[in-house]
Amino acid sequence: MRAALLLLLALSACGQAERLSRVGRAPDMSPVTNPTEDPRWRPVTMPMPAPQEAPPLNNSLWRPGSSTFLRDQRAAQVGDLLTILVSIQDTAQLQNRTQRSRNGTEAMGVPNMFGLETQAGRLLPRGANPAALINTNGTGASDGNGTVNRQEQVTLRLAATVSQALPNGNMVVMGRQEVRVNNELRELAVQGVVRPQDIASDNTIRHDRLAEARISYGGRGSLSDLQQPRLGQQLIDILSPF
């Protein structure tokens, strides 16, 4: 327990040191790098169909997947760019109530047992009545009521890069965007798997066409720091059993 507490304090000290190092200046933007070179990056593995040979297309001017006779401008290879249109409007309303009640009464005694009740009195404390040895009762009640009412709306456009081409033709796309206004840095991130058929002719795709979609919209800076509870309060919330 002591080692865990010391480790938590060390990690919090590192976080505080990072915040102290940028006092008086805006948060630093992340450098533009290759996402596949990130140590946390892992290639995506999806269920693949059996390989099939493409039919011959001799003397044909049309290519499968092409939207024009000249060249398809849609993303098709690793490194190509496409625009992801995110428009999330979610509404959820839940209401649950649970009521529970229980009553119990138990009584036990030995008024007559082959005449041995008189002998049992010698083993019991003075004044004990064998006819009323145990008499218990209990009452329990529980009433829980919960309500959830959420409304979320996110609308944005984000350019993403094809980071991986799967054997069945689907593509893994990853996109990040950072916008700094004064001392607040807004971070947007989108990741998912797309089908070439779902990409529109203007090289855009809706977010609901992304499989395994991961969409993140957050930020860091002075305003985000104020919205976070203090480290001591977080520690109490984790360790307090009440």
Instruction: Please say if the pLDDT value at position 13 is more than 70.
Output: no
Model pLDDT for residues 213-231, shown as the tens digit of each residue: 899 888 888 777 777 777 7
d(CA 36, CA 137): 67
Model pLDDT for residues 27-65, shown as the tens digit of each residue: 777 777 787 888 888 888 777 777 777 666 666 666 655
**Considering only CA atoms, which of 157, 173, 175 is closest in space to residue 165?**
173
DSSP 68: S
Model pLDDT for residues 112-170, shown as the tens digit of each residue: 766 666 666 666 676 677 667 777 888 888 888 888 888 888 888 999 999 999 988 89
Structure confidence at residue 24 (pLDDT): 63
Q: In this structure, are residues 160 and 207 in contact, taking their beta carbons and an 8 Å threshold? A: no
Domain coordinates in residue numbering, the chain: 68-89+152-242, 102-147
Residue linked to tokens 């203090």: 230
Enumerate residues 6+ apart whose C-beta is below 8 A from 106.
Answer: 134, 135, 136, 137
Over residues 9-16, mean pLDDT: 60
Return the bridge partners of 138, or none: 104
Enumerate residues 6+ apart whose C-beta is below 8 A from 33.
Answer: none
Over residues 60-72, mean pLDDT: 61
Instruction: Please say if the pLDDT value at position 93 is more than 60.
Output: yes
d(CA 235, CA 242): 13
Structure confidence at residue 45 (pLDDT): 79
DSSP 215: E
